[in-house]
Structure 1
């Protein structure tokens, strides 16, 4: 039973760490989507990867498992943002697993029985095994405990939860090892030769001194430029590769009606909190007062300086017992705080415990009686450690003689914490908590500082039903006035600001200006371009009515979708043509950069010590085309006009300064190889992902 409890308490953490970190360490943050619209997917398929379906029920089961792992590790309920992150991570797990397994199968990569056994109990076991079965003091694996656990697994029934979880863990560990072998094959195939090293060395160390004449794009006013359809088509065709959309995106505009608390709402809450402040001063049971009157019913515990919010820290650590501070406003609530107690206590405590379960002892009274008996035995000289191993239902600490290690305030539940921090070294105490009856031994106490116990009563400032109803009525009236073509006109007529949410993906949960926007996003991915919603959505304190404006399907986006996006770039291209013609005219008959600059009405600017690898022109910006052109020219030879980032240039190299001979190329090769290896994992995965034709239908499920 000891090992089974250990597994149940630790396996979730093992799996979470393995899934999150070790499964495929090179998974990039976002997996691109491609293929047809999600509406064409099966009603039961969340997506498709390389022709293999991703069933929704399997995905949902894995999300639930990963959410439980999060709860186990953090102790906090996931927010909408955390839920979205868990869903995205889980999706990435499915995609990466399918993609890599297909490649691994093609290459025949395996992890044999002996290799698996070595990862579990060999001389160099998997880090997760060490973490789960390691000794916290020595950092070494506890072989006896590991072997005992493995024996229990071997003799357990096939459907035993412990055995099922262990088999899942081993399977995940094996998959991770296969992925590691695959990436090792890729990295071992990378090679940097001496010519690569020489080119890189010169790019970083060879200098050029030059002059340039530039005509700035800003020298032509935007109002003087007329863009034609041919201009847009020309730019689009030359840059089509930039418009590849990895996943379907949608944009919508919306109007919102504010349902934030009104002045009347604020006055009502302030009246409530003022009365509570008066009653709080005379209350005799502060804990009960908080439980009855506070919105956030936080247990009263001792806190160090810095653990209270700043405005309370400076007051409560200098206040007299019973002093009331407030009302004050903080984090959306009006609050009143009262100093219940202050004292000087230890900063940290080292303790051990024996935990008794009232359910198995016949009730709380019998558990307390047994605890008192054990306490007497310990006080009489019996070994606390041996009794913990024999009687404690907390098997994780029980196997270590009841040791809980050293911890600070806030690490334990209030009743337990109060017992160990209020006692002294060597004390034995019996305490009852929601986990059972504890026999506690205070092994040591360290440090000493002032702590305070503060009771806080809060009342959140929220909109009244009257305020919410008024805002909702306005939203409904606006919705009733809409037709397919009058969204903009009606918004302007009513003085409403039209806001935009651009390039939203199908699984977005929150957007700038919109909290908890999942329902709006789900609507957007079901609507057609130009549709407005037939309902009013709630987002925080806003009532929202959206209208879908743009659909960007996965794949290469058509010109009409990106036309607005590229408008400024097209304008610069057109200006560039005019400036190129002007510089070409200035170059006619000119033999030097100074002559070109004079004829073009600009200056020849000297620049020194520029390297190919860092093409920043002082005072301007990085000009890759310009500097690249320089290193391809002969000395004192004028370039053709070059359309750069800031303007159009003509350049003339005046001198090249070669670096000292490179010498041994091995170090340079090693540096380049390391840089390539760092990029290789993501680049390989990108290539495999593109080939896999990932189809993502999550927008209709999540």
Structure 2
């Protein structure tokens, strides 16, 4: 049974997505957090700093664990790749938290307990909270019920429960409101004048016809134009923001494949063929596949048709009870399946419950005698039948601290998410049913609030086996990698042996210290750590990553700062070369008083382009030369020919033949003004955060902390 299911599933957007930050020590009548901050305690170490403020490791780890638990509660497998994504998400969230909190404090922005109360117990309450007290039959939010439940919660002596309410309900709401106030300062300052829209309409409505002459940069040989490092450095210094670089390293590497081969796959297929008959004859299919070590754990229940996602599901749905299908491939596994039965069930159920626990779910140790728990749940059932408040009883007696914080409401959950006895009651009963169910956690009093989307459901036993490399396959790859590494201990030997053994040498540039994968290699923090724990020129021993072995050579490193001329040359050189070519081509144009003279001087033909508009970014006559589009709408060039204009691909001279405007009677200036202002407001949040991050000093020391 997942803890605080509704908040984890539905409020996660607030907690991790929209804000990605959390508040410290917010008090609601001092009842929820015991009068002080609980998120940041005395640090044992730090993982970085934002504008000199330390991000504590304890807080960082706490958030990572919470998000991992959230992923797992929703059925996601938290592997190394997902774990690293979570760590990066939390890291970026803590940076945002510090930046927004600090900026709000500078501006005197706060969200008081009075404001919190007024928000929570009003029609404007956050939907994640509101739905816990909304009558499923009428859809009406019961403000008084919510207020009474909170009053009861305020009297609680359960510190863990109060902390959970603060962490997962109060803090996200408060931060959301502080962020909203901060952004309002900027969005309310947004103003789009009427004249700007009119000017924009006038420009976009213009249309022009031109005559032009062009000389392409390709007419000047690249070899005739020299661009020096000094010129590149001068350009970099004038455009530093465009050439910032992070600390990184580069490697060369070769891979030795240890993936399963055709023989490994064929051997497993034959084995699965042999298991078809025993599966069909097994008295208990679930027990059989479990004993055989199936990759996909046996689900002892019915799964809705729409939730079954296997390659051969249509064939499976046609099976009669007891029939077996397969073998078949499912990704990197081979599967056989036996149909057990089918029935019609809802695909999701909304329920609330009260748990009288008999074990500690963390330790598995007994906490209450079974007979005592049974008597207590029976008393609760009788009390509710007699008219007692469910909300008051769940707050006082329930041992599920998560759902207790939202008064037992689990929200909607899919078939198969809860433990079997709980799941069977919720999905095989009907809306309005109430009853006591015993699970491995204890006794539950359950009320089914709603069921929706009824469809056919199937109970199927899958025997799934992964296609794995045999010992011989793995040994062969390991031996080849070891032999190569042993004779390639220097950069020179590495390169020579790549050629000698006809291996595929690959390059990975800009590997950051907090990356968790190298493109082409796969996910492995251990590999990244090796790259940073050794000096350039070092060759690795074979490192196992996924189904391959990698041998790597550290080829170089870059320090944080501005790129060198050598690093930036590939980008800057073409621009500076074209600038020098432009000067030569401008000289060829010489002096001219008409477009025909410009053509004569350059030996080119006069070309035509019609119906040029401001919104165009490409014209067949001259491609994407935006300088020509802009010049075509310049009325000064209607009476006289333009000077030579340096573009992306050449130098041009033009004469505007006609310049007019298309009618736009449908234009509504006021509506355009409002739409433009709204668009600006919608992008304001991102722009503000980018500005704060660019102005901040962020020190990431997670690598040193062992991550």
Deviations 1:133-181 (CA, angstroms, capped at 9, x unpaired)? 4444545443343323332343344x71223344455355434433322
Instruction: Answer yes or no: is 1:284 the counterpart of 2:288.
Output: no
- Equivalent-residue separation in structure 2 for 1:364 and 1:601 (angstroms): 101
Distance 1:504 1:674, change over 3 A: farther
Give the corresponding residue for 1:18: 14
- Equivalent-residue separation in structure 1 for 2:12 and 2:637 (angstroms): 60
Give the corresponding residue for 2:254: 255
- Equivalent-residue separation in structure 2 for 1:610 and 1:684 (angstroms): 36
Residue 76 of structure 1 aligns to a residue in which SS?
Answer: coil
Distance 1:437 1:548, change over 3 A: same
Instruction: Answer yes or no: is 1:506 the counterpart of 2:513.
Output: yes
570-579 or 291-300, larger mean C-alpha shift: 570-579
329-338 or 634-643, larger mean C-alpha shift: 634-643
* Equivalent pair of 1:345/1:421 in contact (CA under 8 Å): no
User: Following superposition of structure 1 onto structure 2, how do residues 625-636 of structure 1 map, counting pairs within 5 Å?
Assistant: 625-632=627-634, 633-636=636-639
* Equivalent pair of 1:201/1:668 in contact (CA under 8 Å): no
Deviations 1:364-406 (CA, angstroms, capped at 9, x unpaired)? 689789999999x99xxx9598798879958899999999888
Give the count of matched residue pairs: 670
- Equivalent-residue separation in structure 2 for 1:675 and 1:351 (angstroms): 38
Distance 1:364 1:473, change over 3 A: same
Distance 1:517 1:401, change over 3 A: closer
Deviations 1:495-528 (CA, angstroms, capped at 9, x unpaired)? 2212222333332223432322322223334444
* Equivalent pair of 2:210/2:657 in contact (CA under 8 Å): yes
Match of 2:661 among 658, 662, 672: 658
Distance 1:84 1:211, change over 3 A: farther
Instruction: Answer yes or no: is 1:464 the counterpart of 2:470.
Output: yes
Give the corresponding residue for 1:690: 694
- Equivalent-residue separation in structure 1 for 2:448 and 2:191 (angstroms): 60
- TM-score normalised to structure 2 length: 0.80
Instruction: Answer yes or no: is 1:547 the counterpart of 2:542.
Output: no
Gaps of 5+ in 2: 23-42, 360-366
For residue 259 of structure 1, report the CA deviation from its aligned partner. 0.9
* Equivalent pair of 1:325/1:337 in contact (CA under 8 Å): yes
Gaps of 5+ in 1: 27-41
For residue 443 of structure 1, report the CA deviation from its aligned partner. 9.2
- Equivalent-residue separation in structure 1 for 2:680 and 2:120 (angstroms): 32
Instruction: Answer yes or no: is 1:48 the counterpart of 2:49.
Output: yes
Give the corresponding residue for 2:675: 671
- Equivalent-residue separation in structure 2 for 1:674 and 1:507 (angstroms): 38
- Equivalent-residue separation in structure 2 for 1:614 and 1:675 (angstroms): 22
For residue 635 of structure 1, report the CA deviation from its aligned partner. 0.8
- Equivalent-residue separation in structure 2 for 1:274 and 1:268 (angstroms): 10
Distance 1:427 1:172, change over 3 A: closer
627-636 or 471-480, larger mean C-alpha shift: 627-636
285-294 or 79-88, larger mean C-alpha shift: 79-88
Give the corresponding residue for 2:85: 85
- Equivalent-residue separation in structure 1 for 2:284 and 2:100 (angstroms): 62
- Equivalent-residue separation in structure 2 for 1:249 and 1:612 (angstroms): 42
* Equivalent pair of 1:24/1:176 in contact (CA under 8 Å): no
For residue 345 of structure 1, report the CA deviation from its aligned partner. 2.5
Instruction: Answer yes or no: is 1:535 the counterpart of 2:549.
Output: no
For residue 539 of structure 1, report the CA deviation from its aligned partner. 1.4
Give the corresponding residue for 1:324: 324
- Equivalent-residue separation in structure 1 for 2:405 and 2:66 (angstroms): 28
Give the corresponding residue for 1:107: 107
Give the corresponding residue for 2:531: 524
* Equivalent pair of 1:250/1:504 in contact (CA under 8 Å): yes
Distance 1:552 1:194, change over 3 A: farther
- Equivalent-residue separation in structure 2 for 1:397 and 1:201 (angstroms): 56
User: Following superposition of structure 1 onto structure 2, how do residues 165-184 of structure 1 map, counting pairs within 5 Å?
Assistant: 165-168=164-167, 169-184=169-184
Give the corresponding residue for 2:201: 201
For residue 105 of structure 1, report the CA deviation from its aligned partner. 2.5
Residue 503 of structure 2 aligns to a residue in which SS?
Answer: coil
- Equivalent-residue separation in structure 2 for 1:214 and 1:324 (angstroms): 74
Deviations 1:189-225 (CA, angstroms, capped at 9, x unpaired)? 3333344333322332222322333444556677887
* Equivalent pair of 1:385/1:401 in contact (CA under 8 Å): no
- TM-score normalised to structure 1 length: 0.80
Give the corresponding residue for 1:30: none
CA RMSD, aligned part only?
4.5
Give the corresponding residue for 1:160: 159
For residue 540 of structure 1, report the CA deviation from its aligned partner. 0.8
Deviations 1:324-368 (CA, angstroms, capped at 9, x unpaired)? 222222211121122333x45345587878777473997668978
Give the corresponding residue for 1:642: 645
Deviations 1:243-275 (CA, angstroms, capped at 9, x unpaired)? 123x43333222111111234433432342232
